[in-house]
Structure 1
């Protein structure tokens, strides 16, 4: 996978704290500079995943809703 490729991790089917566990596992297995889109469902996972990403030192490039459902969110993250 090249630096310009974007991974997708869909954890919308999981509930907290498993959303953050899966996000951390994926980020831990990525190389610095890789970008990933992380899909979450609901306000609590949105807050928890964003907090976890920042506390691990990674950068959230963008947060947006998805067109699929009002409670779905997408984080575009670059690994530190």
Structure 2
């Protein structure tokens, strides 16, 4: 779940962390003042949303399979450069 809070303190509130825990999700937070922390993730999710759209899956497993298929396709299209 990506959420834009009104205030950054909402991400660290006990109530918010408790809700994340109940949903068996993992919370992620970048460094204060660094606009680059989430740039790659935001770009990835924008492309994922454009490709998969607003499809409704019958199960969590079906959604997961579609996301992994997308990731595999992107990995083949844009391989990591050799060092």
How does the TM-score come out when normalised to structure 1? Answer: 0.28
Greater fraction strand: 1
- Structure of higher RCO (CA pairs closer than 8 Å, 6+ residues apart): 1
Greater fraction helix: 2
Larger radius of gyration: 2
